[in-house]
């Protein structure tokens, strides 16, 4: 490109009325801009290229398709983002433990590349699968996703959601979301059909130790308690419900942790050596103490499966309703976050520089 004199002249074209650099104007003129500076693309190394509107992408990136600028944001330890009801939320909420598909798409974008394979062995109504499909249109490209789910009703809902969503997309003139490979059965059996090292990202949301069985009681109790004087129209204290039920969690929790540890050990052969295993898990308050489920689960998985914990990204939902628990006698946390545990296969962690 131009010599220094030309460069100087060119940059002057993108000043605002006060003579300051006008990044918006430069962007409109399709000049590469990152962090408010015009990038001299001649200065980029061979393995770097400028991606229009997104910044510099480094071809050596083995983790995802993000540019440096996007990577910086994606490695933040807190994801402070509310995901308002969307993607046929009413249908999906029959499940009760569903995750926002847009959040899943965000995580898939952080931990995989276009064309990669994503597995969710506890797929529910398909938050991960829908997220993988969103990546084709709103991210860096389609991921192939496989889901395992043992409850047929949740699979039916996934299909209904996809159909309804695609009808709306067609009406808006948008391309349809791809249908992903949802399989019915027990993940412990179905994992045997997945070839070794074929999964680039295992993204899942684990079943809680005795949550499934107690969901019904909790919902009934929730409705009752919301009528009994919680503040500001808040609903129930999940923790208080658990304490009230007087269930001996300790043995069950140990069983659950052991079960999760062996299950994840079985999954690990399917994960590529430079892949990731990403697990949603909320902590809980019960029997008047904080249950650090995320830490317990991380340690249990690490102790059995050849996986190393690389990060815990906190998903903080600023839109979550606050409830008043314990007031005025006891400090009880009002949970507005979930943990997103990020594991890497051990071999990959050992070779990291």
Residue ranges in contact with ligand SAM by CB under 6 A: 95, 97-99, 122, 124-127, 148-151, 154, 186-188, 205, 207
Instruction: Compute the least distance from the CB of residue 98 to ligand SAM, in Å.
Output: 4
| Residue number with the smallest Cβ distance to ligand SAM | 124
Q: Of all helices (H) and strands (E), which one includes residue 170?
A: helix 152-171
Instruction: Compute the least distance from the CB of residue 190 to ligand SAM, in Å.
Output: 7
Distance CA 33, CA 24 (A): 9
Of the candidates 88, 87, 64, the residue with the CA atom closest to the CA atom of residue 75: 64
Instruction: Compute the least distance from the CB of residue 92 to ligand SAM, in Å.
Output: 7
In the complex with ligand SAM, the residue whose CB is nearer, 125 or 340, is 125
What is the side-by-side order of every strand in the sheet holding 337-345? 78-80, 307-316, 337-345, 271-281, 199-205, 117-120, 144-149, 181-184
Instruction: Compute the least distance from the CB of residue 272 to ligand SAM, in Å.
Output: 22
Instruction: Compute the least distance from the CB of residue 333 to ligand SAM, in Å.
Output: 21
Relative to beta strand 271-281, strand 199-205 is: parallel
Distance CA 324, CA 311 (A): 30
Q: Cβ atoms within 10 A of the Cβ of 267, count?
A: 21
In the complex with ligand SAM, the residue whose CB is nearer, 57 or 315, is 315
Kindly report the three-state secondary structure assignment for every residue of 291-315: ECHHHHHHHHHHHHCCEEEEEEEEE
In the complex with ligand SAM, the residue whose CB is nearer, 188 or 222, is 188
In the complex with ligand SAM, the residue whose CB is nearer, 38 or 305, is 305
In the complex with ligand SAM, the residue whose CB is nearer, 70 or 165, is 165
């Amino acid at each position: 490109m131009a010599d220094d004199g030309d460069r100087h002249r060119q940059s002057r074209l993108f000043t605002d009325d006060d003579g300051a650099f006008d990044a918006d104007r430069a962007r409109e003129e399709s000049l590469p801009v990152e962090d408010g500076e015009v990038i001299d693309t001649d200065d980029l190394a061979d393995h770097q290229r400028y991606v229009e509107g997104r910044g510099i992408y480094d071809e050596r990136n083995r983790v995802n398709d993000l540019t440096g600028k996007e990577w910086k944001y994606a490695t933040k330890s807190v994801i402070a983002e509310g995901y308002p009801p969307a993607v046929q939320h009413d249908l999906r909420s029959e499940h009760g433990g569903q995750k926002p598909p847009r959040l899943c798409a965000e995580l898939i974008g952080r931990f995989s590349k276009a064309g990669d394979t994503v597995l969710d062995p506890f797929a529910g109504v398909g938050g991960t699968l829908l997220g993988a499909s969103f990546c084709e249109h709103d991210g860096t490209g389609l991921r192939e996703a496989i889901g395992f789910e043992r409850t047929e009703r949740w699979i039916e809902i996934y299909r209904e959601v996809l159909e309804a969503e695609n009808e709306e997309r067609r009406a808006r003139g948008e391309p349809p979301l791809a249908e992903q490979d949802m399989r019915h059965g027990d993940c412990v059996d179905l994992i045997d059909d997945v070839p070794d090292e074929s999964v680039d990202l295992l993204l899942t949301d684990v079943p809680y130790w005795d949550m499934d069985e107690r969901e019904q009681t909790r919902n009934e109790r929730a409705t009752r308690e919301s009528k009994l004087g919680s503040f500001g129209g808040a609903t129930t204290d999940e923790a208080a419900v658990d304490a009230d039920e007087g269930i001996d969690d300790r043995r069950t929790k140990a069983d659950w942790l052991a079960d999760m540890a062996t299950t994840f050990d079985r999954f690990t052969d399917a994960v590529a050596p430079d892949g990731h295993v990403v697990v949603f898990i909320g902590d809980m308050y019960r029997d008047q103490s904080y249950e650090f489920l995320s830490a317990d689960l991380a340690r249990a998985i690490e102790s059995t499966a050849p996986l190393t914990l690389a990060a815990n990204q906190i998903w903080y939902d600023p839109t979550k309703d606050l409830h008043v628990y314990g007031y005025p006698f006891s400090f009880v946390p009002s949970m507005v976050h979930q943990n997103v545990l990020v594991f890497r296969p051990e071999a990959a962690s050992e070779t990291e520089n």
